[in-house]
């Protein structure tokens, strides 16, 4: 090697060391190299929503950066059961295999959900055609939990057994929910008990949306969890979805909410985190403001030992549900994740690393 090339090489190595060692620029802490490294050091899981068709570049990011995966769509009842009698696990198995091949913890999502693509297309017609819908629905729910949770028993660590039981904007039950309409609150007991029977070692969650910015709705969720626990129903965790589409996260409020879940003896996770960039359109540097918001969310979780995981709802800005969801599609591109559409880490990625760090 020529002297000049050696000099350049050494200078480059020195610069890399310098940048690495001063990566937070201020108090000398060294950021971890990856989200996974930081999460392990901090004692939490850091996950992403994935599915069977995850492309190669995203699989590489998943393998490098994450410790956990949630199956975004393929484990939903609508995806699994084209008819009441038949299940097709092709896509679900493929998604689970991607997670397992990377040694990731897996969150199962979701058994009983009435919105968007949650309900089987045939369910309501079946229920209205029978003389005893309560009996039919209970039997269908039990069979569904047994089939799906049983299939992955010992492999899927956590299940969002019940998703979004509450009304969009209040702490009351969602009235337009066939499970609730037919069985009342007991549908939640039935679902959790059936999932527990199918895999006694899986951690069972109640997962809810929009509670982070609707305090009354959060109270409704806590009250529901308290009733379930009083009845001895196997509930182990609360999932706060953490879709920040309408307002940015409030660190103190979020931390207080995580504490409330903890006080019930429950685990709590932030299960579907994304923070829409248009929220910060008026900030001098929107990407920096988004980065701060992500750091706030991570700090809130790390402040509460019962907060055992954070999952972003996707990997990069090139594939986010917010760009097609009816309440956020008009703002597309929402750019709500930690990686840009080309896979490059965003300022939010760096701020999450620093919030998780220092490297140990
Ligand atoms: C979304 C998926 O990301 C989309 O691909 C799909 O079209 C609709 O569902 N709350 C949930 C998730 O619990 O299951 C939703 O996922 C997003 C809102």
Mean pLDDT of 276-284: 98
Residue 64 has pLDDT above 60, yes or no: yes
Which of 321, 326, 336 to mutate for ligand 1's pocket (most ligand atoms within 8 Å of CB)? 321
Ligand 1: does its nearest atom lie under 6 Å from the Cβ of 51?
A: no
Distance 88 CA to ligand 1 centre (A): 20
User: What's the pTM value of the predicted model, to 2 decimals?
Assistant: 0.92
Confidence of residue 357 (pLDDT cuts 50, 70, 90): confident
Hey, how many other C-beta atoms are within 10 angstroms of the C-beta on 41? 14
User: Would you please indicate which residues are annotated as catalytic (active-site) residues?
Assistant: 164, 272
Confidence of residue 29 (pLDDT cuts 50, 70, 90): low
CA gap 273, 150 in Å, rounded: 28
Distance 73 CA to ligand 1 centre (A): 7
Residue 21 has pLDDT above 60, yes or no: no
Q: Pairing between strand 158-163 and 105-112?
A: parallel
CA dist list (Å): 334 to 41, 207, 277, 355 = 31, 23, 6, 23
Ligand 1: does its nearest atom lie under 6 Å from the Cβ of 241?
A: yes
Distance 152 CA to ligand 1 centre (A): 21
Concatenating the DSSP letter of every residue in 121-177 gives TTHHHHHHTSS-HHHHHHHHHHHHHHHHHHHTTTT--EEEEEE--B-SSSSSBPSS-
Query: 223-246: b or e for each residue (b if 16 or more CB lie within 10 Å)?
Result: ebbeebeeeebbbbbbbbbbbbbe
Q: What is the pLDDT of residue 18?
A: 36
Distance 9 CA to ligand 1 centre (A): 48
Ligand 1: does its nearest atom lie under 6 Å from the Cβ of 186?
A: no
Which atom of ligand 1 is nearest to 209's Cα? 10
Mean pLDDT of 338-348: 98
Ligand 1: does its nearest atom lie under 6 Å from the Cβ of 320?
A: no
Ligand 1: does its nearest atom lie under 6 Å from the Cβ of 163?
A: yes
The DSSP secondary-structure symbol of 321 reads: G
Distance 128 CA to ligand 1 centre (A): 26
- Lowest mean per-residue pLDDT among 11-15, 205-209, 261-265: 11-15
Ligand 1: does its nearest atom lie under 6 Å from the Cβ of 210?
A: no
Burial class (CB in 10 A: 0-12, 13-18, 19+), 190: buried
> pLDDT above 70 covers what percent of the chain?
91
Residue 276 has pLDDT above 80, yes or no: yes
* Closest residue CA from atom 1 of ligand 1: 321
Ligand 1: does its nearest atom lie under 6 Å from the Cβ of 272?
A: yes
150-190 pLDDT tens trace? 999 999 999 999 999 999 999 999 999 999 999 999 999 99
Q: What is the pLDDT of residue 358?
A: 75
Ligand 1: does its nearest atom lie under 6 Å from the Cβ of 160?
A: no
Which of 72, 241, 337 to mutate for ligand 1's pocket (most ligand atoms within 8 Å of CB)? 72
Q: What is the pLDDT of residue 226?
A: 98
Mean pLDDT of 197-222: 98
* Closest residue CA from atom 13 of ligand 1: 163
121-152 pLDDT tens trace? 999 999 999 999 999 999 999 999 999 999 99
CA gap 272, 307 in Å, rounded: 14
Distance 337 CA to ligand 1 centre (A): 15
Ligand 1: does its nearest atom lie under 6 Å from the Cβ of 274?
A: no
Mean residue pLDDT of the chain comes to 93
């Amino acid at each position: 090697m020529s002297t000049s090339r050696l000099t350049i090489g050494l200078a480059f190595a020195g610069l890399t060391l310098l940048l690495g060692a001063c990566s937070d620029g201020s108090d000398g802490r060294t950021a971890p190299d990856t989200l996974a490294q930081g999460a392990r050091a901090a004692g939490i899981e850091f996950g992403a929503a994935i599915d069977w068709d995850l492309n190669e570049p995203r699989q590489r990011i998943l393998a490098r950066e994450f410790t956990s995966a949630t199956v975004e769509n393929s484990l939903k009842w609508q995806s699994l059961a084209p008819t009441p009698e038949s299940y097709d696990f092709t896509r679900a198995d493929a998604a689970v295999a991607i997670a397992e091949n990377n040694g990731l913890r897996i969150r199962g999502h979701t058994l009983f959900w009435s919105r968007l693509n949650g309900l089987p297309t045939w369910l309501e017609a079946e229920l209205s055609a029978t003389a005893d819908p309560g009996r039919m629905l209970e039997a269908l729910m039990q069979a569904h939990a047994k089939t799906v949770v049983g299939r992955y028993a010992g492999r899927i660590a956590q299940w969002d057994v019940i998703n979004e039981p509450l009304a969009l904007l209040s702490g009351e039950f969602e009235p337009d929910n066939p499970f609730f309409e037919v069985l009342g609150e007991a549908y939640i007991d039935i679902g959790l008990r059936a999932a527990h029977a199918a895999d006694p070692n899986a951690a069972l969650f109640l997962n809810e949306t929009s509670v982070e910015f609707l305090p009354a709705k959060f109270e409704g969720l806590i009250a529901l969890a308290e009733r379930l626990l009083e009845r001895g129903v196997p509930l182990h965790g609360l999932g706060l979805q953490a879709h920040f589409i309408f307002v940015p996260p409030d660190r103190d409020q979020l931390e207080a909410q995580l504490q409330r879940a903890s006080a019930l003896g429950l685990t709590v996770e932030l299960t579907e985190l994304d923070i829409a960039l248009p929220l910060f359109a008026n900030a001098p540097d929107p990407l920096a403001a988004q980065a701060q918001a992500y750091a706030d969310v991570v700090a809130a979780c790390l402040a509460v030992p019962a907060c055992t995981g954070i999952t972003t709802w996707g990997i990069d800005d090139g594939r986010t549900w917010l760009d097609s969801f009816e309440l956020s599609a008009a703002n597309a591109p929402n750019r709500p994740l930690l990686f840009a559409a080309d896979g490059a880490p965003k300022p939010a990625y760096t701020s999450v690393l620093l919030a998780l760090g220092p490297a140990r």
